[in-house]
Amino acid sequence: MRILVLGGDGYLGWPTALHLSHKGHEVGVVDSFARRQYDHEMGVDSLVPISHLQRRVSVWEDISGLRVVPYVGDLTDADFVERTLREFAPDTIVHFAEQRSAPYSMIDRKHAVYTQVNNVVGTLNLLYAIAEIDPSIHLVKLGTMGEYGTPNIDIEEGFIEITHRGRTDVLPYPKQPGSFYHLSKVHDSHNIMFACRIWGLRSTDLNQGIVYGQETEETVLHPELATRFDYDGVFGTVLNRFCVQAVVGHPLTVYGSGGQTRGMLNIRDTLACVELAALNPPEAGEFRVFNQFTESFSIRQLAELVCQTFPGRVEVLTAPNPRVEKEEHYYRAAHTKLLDLGLVPHLLDQRTISSLLAVADRHRDRVDPSAIEATVDWRRTASTMPTAAGGVRVKSEPTEA
Amino acid sequence: MRILVLGGDGYLGWPTALHLSHKGHEVGVVDSFARRQYDHEMGVDSLVPISHLQRRVSVWEDISGLRVVPYVGDLTDADFVERTLREFAPDTIVHFAEQRSAPYSMIDRKHAVYTQVNNVVGTLNLLYAIAEIDPSIHLVKLGTMGEYGTPNIDIEEGFIEITHRGRTDVLPYPKQPGSFYHLSKVHDSHNIMFACRIWGLRSTDLNQGIVYGQETEETVLHPELATRFDYDGVFGTVLNRFCVQAVVGHPLTVYGSGGQTRGMLNIRDTLACVELAALNPPEAGEFRVFNQFTESFSIRQLAELVCQTFPGRVEVLTAPNPRVEKEEHYYRAAHTKLLDLGLVPHLLDQRTISSLLAVADRHRDRVDPSAIEATVDWRRTASTMPTAAGGVRVKSEPTEA
């Protein structure tokens, strides 16, 4: 199968590209390096050093004999999208190429607008290019479990049967996203569903939980095949961040009561899920949604797991919650469709956390403790961003004419 | 009350501004004249001649002694939005300032992207400006009944109580919009709901049906106070368009079976609804939705009503449906919240249609029959747009690298 991985230089895009290549697919990767640019903007770095895409591709070819074709460009450039699709002629497109940090989208107006325009326009350009060039291409789009928010009923996979005043219909599951980033994914989902309906496109929306882990079967083969590992307050996600905090002797920062419960999955399962979706495409015109996570944990539980695993003293600190969200809530979300396709989950245990702690420990000299703090406050319209240099304000627009 | 009407030069914005001024409010109008620019692009004109905004404002002052303050600028210009809000200091903002044609949004990729970016970014800029300058400002936002699509259950006003596997919650009503324009309104609704939640803003989302009519109590006071009247295939809406077709002896073009049923309302009721929403603001943090229409009709019924009213022979032509939509469907939508606030509807009858036919007849020499045809096909990714000059293609981007 010919698979084009958009955002193929990122945390998940790169190991996905390697995995699919390893499994025998013809793989192309597309990236604009926007993710690396955010590091420059924030003054932070991946904990694990990462090589340039061109170098990664060349190391992979040396090691595996397999060629991954890189395309450098941006999805908001429609001509580039069209040219790349015509040249690579994919059967499947895996779309990771969006700004994916909730805090980044909440820094200020410019970052909110950037996130929504970047994500929505990139995906619109892609939908048009697929419809024009080859409507049979299967679009595997990364969404997020955060699109659903925390309703007081069970979360289903994309659609819900509603009986109301004696009539019944199956309708899109109501969405209550919690940041301008999460909103951009909701906008995408609505746009993709519509494109499937009017143009007969086929798409799988993977509503992914929070991913943890850094090593995969392929990335461990050579240090230059490593994928990034983010622990900073803007791009770092919870379990990865806790492991870094434990290793450097920083308290684990739990925001609010820690009762926030989220679906989670191992990075290796992300790769398996994407391949399962690709190998089992929907019918022409079908828009389907898989909830892509394997277990649910509260933030409190994750902190406890790290404390139990780390061979030393770990402090847990309750910090004010920068987000506007329910801290104690009902959470039960369906996630059977990928299991039905054959997913065998890597569940979270002390061994997994130990290996994450080992990654963090190996690179502990690269940790910038000042980058850990959550600096973006949902309640403010403009947050002051500290960087390694200290106190640089990202927002520069005039506030008065 | 100080009310700022965004899009105050448009079909509904202008009569709304006059109505609110007449009712004793301090009114400002904001417009970028994007709507007039679409006329140039399409090579069509309002059936009823319209004066420049500056002239309209001056005539209104001469006639009424009341001053409406014009601000010329675009909502996608965040500095302009902020400056205007600081200068006018509104209690209420009525937001009509979006690209509002479904066919226009479906012309091609560029028009789809334009519509979503223009509408979503304009509204994001507005939300940030309100949050920063005065979070107590009440945002009255024009949405559309088309956000809901045609579910097989009753449509409620914005939210629905769902009981599922033994638990119950009130959740946003699921949306199934039918064009990239309608999708932009769904995106807006989600963004506004979130801004109310995190920043304590207050907003009323008016999910409006299809508006008919051209004359209001204020616009009839002087020819230069007239609002526009669109009958063309891109911006013309159904009943207005049927009246023009009848007058010029063009068959009434019903797309598909004509069983498509939609909520509708008289232009005078739009004005009343907006004022009722403004006079009865929601609490801080509240996002509420009113379904703003008074009656439902199928397209077939509307064609029959025009046939019965027109004093002459009218042919009805079934044309292929350019849209992808259900042509026979269940349709029952709640619309009691505005009635509860005191709305007294002007219902559709032969007298109303006669007055619309009279408007059309008065300007029949301005009708361009070639503009009537529906030229935008939902199933195509790029439609060829005929203009008065004939066959000019709007889409000019290269289709091959």
pLDDT of A105-140, one tens digit each? 999 999 999 999 999 999 999 999 999 999 999 999
Number of residues that make up chain B: 401
- Three-state SS for A252-277 is EEEECCCCCEEEEEEHHHHHHHHHHH
- Write down the catalytic residue from B76, B84, B144, B150: B144
Residues B9 and B35 sit within 8 Å (Cβ to Cβ): yes
Q: What is the pLDDT of residue B397?
A: 40
Residues of A in contact with B146 (CB under 8 A): none
Take residue B74 and report the two structure tokens written for it. Answer: 């675009």
Take residue A211 and report the two structure tokens written for it. Answer: 């991913």
Closest CA to A102 of A294, A325, A330, A348: A325
Q: Say if residue A11's pLDDT is above 60.
A: yes
| pLDDT tens track for A26-68 | 999 999 999 999 999 999 999 999 999 999 999 999 999 999 9
Nearest neighbour of A197 by CB, restricted to B171, B324, B401:
B324
Take residue B202 and report the two structure tokens written for it. Answer: 């207050």
Taking CA atoms, B30 is separated from B27, B71, B76, B106, B220, in Å, by 10, 5, 12, 26, 22
In chain A, which residue's Cα lies nearest the Cα of B171?
A: A174
Taking CA atoms, B224 is separated from A7, B57, B96, in Å, by 55, 10, 21
Q: What is the pLDDT of residue A36?
A: 98
Interface test with A, best of B194, B287, B326 (most A CBs within 10 A): B194
Take residue B321 and report the two structure tokens written for it. Answer: 């449906």
Rounded Cα distance, B59 and B78, in Å: 31
Task: Share the mean pLDDT of chain B.
Answer: 95
Residues of A in contact with B401 (CB under 8 A): 79, 82-83, 86
Take residue A266 and report the two structure tokens written for it. Answer: 């191992």
- How far the first Cα of chain A sits from its last, in Å, is 55
Cβ pair A78:B109 closer than 8 A: yes
Would you call B318 a catalytic residue per the annotation? no
Nearest neighbour of A154 by CB, restricted to B165, B174, B399:
B165
Q: For CA atoms A264, A268, A269, A275, give the dihedral sign.
A: positive
Q: Say if residue A397's pLDDT is above 70.
A: no
Nearest neighbour of A381 by CB, restricted to B132, B176, B398:
B132
Q: Are strands A316-319 and A252-255 parallel, antiparallel or unpaired?
A: parallel
Residues of A in contact with B71 (CB under 8 A): none
Nearest neighbour of A171 by CB, restricted to B174, B186, B382:
B174
| pLDDT tens track for B182-193 | 999 999 999 999
Rounded Cα distance, B20 and B331, in Å: 33
In chain B, which residue's Cα lies nearest the Cα of A151?
A: B169
Cβ pair B109:A116 closer than 8 A: no
Number of residues that make up chain A: 401
Q: Please tell me the distance in Å from B252's CA to the nearest CA on chain A.
A: 26
In chain B, which residue's Cα lies nearest the Cα of A122?
A: B113
Cβ pair B116:A120 closer than 8 A: yes
Residues A172 and A186 sit within 8 Å (Cβ to Cβ): no
Q: Which region, left, alpha or beta, applies to residue B83 given φ > 0 means left and ψ of -120 to 50 means alpha? A: alpha
Cβ pair B83:A401 closer than 8 A: yes
Q: What is the pLDDT of residue B392?
A: 38
Q: Say if residue B388's pLDDT is above 70.
A: no
In chain B, which residue's Cα lies nearest the Cα of A193?
A: B176
pTM for this prediction? 0.96
Q: What is the mean pLDDT of residues B323-331?
A: 97
Q: What is the pLDDT of residue A384?
A: 74
Cβ pair A183:B190 closer than 8 A: yes
Residues A305 and A283 sit within 8 Å (Cβ to Cβ): no
In chain A, which residue's Cα lies nearest the Cα of B112?
A: A124
Nearest neighbour of B113 by CB, restricted to A124, A172, A400:
A124
Q: Say if residue A398's pLDDT is above 50.
A: no
